[in-house]
Structure 1
């Protein structure tokens, strides 16, 4: 029975921190505020998490790993990039958007943490993905600045969907529009 209570308290802390970091950011949210939202004494938060950074890490640590996995799975497909995205990427991103607040926290609210360059890291991951895709289907080499521009624009499109998330259907519609606008241009290369 005690283990259930411990897990429930850990979940309350996690949920409260998610709200606090989403509403503010890492630097502005306080452990006292998180404890208050969780309905527990602040000292109890420290029984579960060494510090605010450890709590923040637990919330955001897997987001980039999840996105990288989606891209790698998409790279294994052999169709056109737009078809591969529809087949693999779109559905996986929609699942990831179920947790859109974690994406926003990582990308927009992580200043002062080891994650503060996560957006740049994501752009680099997507650049590598684009280079891999181009190497499979394009005869010509493209300048790295061009690949960076594509990766930055696609990253920002995904982040805008996460920032303005309304519902799964809305996100599906937005991804479909991004897919069409982005990949019709890429397919022309």
Structure 2
């Protein structure tokens, strides 16, 4: 009986994965999920008390990993301010984070970054933008010790470019499911920004 219950739970999670890949959290339907899982809508609530709990069961593991990677990246970035390292190298770490998470949680990462509107995870993308903007400000200023000298226009440019970088990665995740394709496109996209910014960097 316990094995049967676990099978039903896994069927629900598989059906939910498909539903949340196609619809934002706010628009996803428990009725469609239950139908795809082959159970009644009422029965689904024996396993998950509401849509929020079901969504969290899917995305919480990848969210916790992303949070862990972002905290590590922030620590590395803080150390670079002290040691005078080049902030541009952290684009490679962002790329490694995205590709590594995609390898382990391809559908879940796509849902987290593209389909979490209306859930408590809706701010994840904004957090990524803030981190990338911080890296860009450091790069523009040639070091954290000079960031205070950035003009409002330069800070705005950093925020705009950061938003473009994160949205570009999200688009790649949304449009492609093949791991090798995602790796190649993310690599090309990050390299494009790295090269362009280095070319425009003051001497």
Which category of TM-score, normalised to the shorter sequence, fits these structures?
0.7 to 0.9
Residues 4 and 131 from structure 1, CA distance in 2 versus in 1: closer, same or farther, beyond 3 angstroms? farther
Residue matched to 1:31: 30
Residue matched to 1:94: 99
Residues 74 and 85 from structure 1, CA distance in 2 versus in 1: closer, same or farther, beyond 3 angstroms? farther
**1:167-178 mapped onto 2 (5 Å cutoff):** 167-178=178-189
Instruction: Report the RMSD for the aligned CA atoms in angstroms.
Output: 2.9
Q: How far apart are 1:81 and its partner, in Å?
A: 4.3
Residue matched to 1:42: 41
Gaps of 5+ in 1: none
Partners of 2:65 and 2:23 lie apart in 1 by 24
Note the alpha carbon deviations across 1:133-184, whole angstroms, 9 max, x for none.
7788355323432221232111112101101114122112112211211112
Higher mean Cα deviation, 74-83 or 97-106?
74-83
Residue matched to 2:170: 159
Residue matched to 2:14: 15
Higher normalized helix content (fraction of residues)? 2
**1:25-174 mapped onto 2 (5 Å cutoff):** 25-75=24-74, 76=76, 80-86=86-92, 88-98=93-103, 99-130=105-136, 137=143, 140-141=146-147, 142=150, 143-174=154-185
Residues 108 and 92 from structure 1, CA distance in 2 versus in 1: closer, same or farther, beyond 3 angstroms? closer
Count of residue correspondences: 187
Residues 89 and 133 from structure 1, CA distance in 2 versus in 1: closer, same or farther, beyond 3 angstroms? same
Q: How far apart are 1:29 and its partner, in Å?
A: 2.5
Gaps of 5+ in 2: none
Counterpart of 1:27 in 2: which secondary structure?
helix
Counterpart of 2:117 in 1: which secondary structure?
coil
Counterpart of 1:140 in 2: which secondary structure?
helix
Partners of 1:130 and 1:8 lie apart in 2 by 47
Partners of 2:140 and 2:65 lie apart in 1 by 22
Note the alpha carbon deviations across 1:84-143, whole angstroms, 9 max, x for none.
444x44333212223333233333333333333443233224334555777883553234
Contact 1:14 1:59 in 2 (8 A): yes
